[in-house]
Amino acid sequence: MSARILAIDDSPTIRSLVARALRNAGFDVFLAADGVEGVGTLMDADPALIITDINMPRMDGFGVIEAVRASKSHADVPILVLTTESGDDLKARARQAGATGWIVKPFEDDKLVAVIDRVLGR
């Protein structure tokens, strides 16, 4: 059975690129357009890993990280931040909130998959 990944990004283009890269690598991918939708999808998606953008409407990536870490069912799920932001202060804030890792856009498919494989130990 392939690992389930929930990817949350407000950009349809990025969602499409992430979905293609991960599906080509054999992952089962669930998509959400913002943090509210992503957190609402947690139970159905039951992801092994979550990828989230930082800058999104309704609920940003920090809100996603905090909501996932506060949940009983998915508090231990690894969370990778995929964003155009690269500031050390934002990375530190994401780590403090509970992010597992940080990937800067634009990303290369093989590097994204390699990071996910490493985090999931596959």
CB 77 within 8 A of CB 48: yes
Q: Where are the beta strands (DSSP E) in 1-122?
A: 4-8, 28-32, 49-52, 79-83, 101-104
What letter represents residue 89's amino acid? D
Domain range annotation of the chain: 4-120
CATH superfamily of domain region 4-120: Response regulator (3.40.50.2300)
CA atoms within 13 A on the CB side of 12: 0
**Angle made by CA atoms 47, 50, 55, in degrees to the nearest 5:** 145
What integer best gives the mean pLDDT of the chain?
A: 95
- CA-CA distance, 62 to 86, in Å (whole number)? 15
**What is the pLDDT, as a whole number, of residue 40?**
96
Per-residue pLDDT reduced to its tens digit, 65-108: 999 999 999 999 999 999 898 889 999 999 999 999 999 998 99
Mean predicted confidence (pLDDT) in 3-29: 97
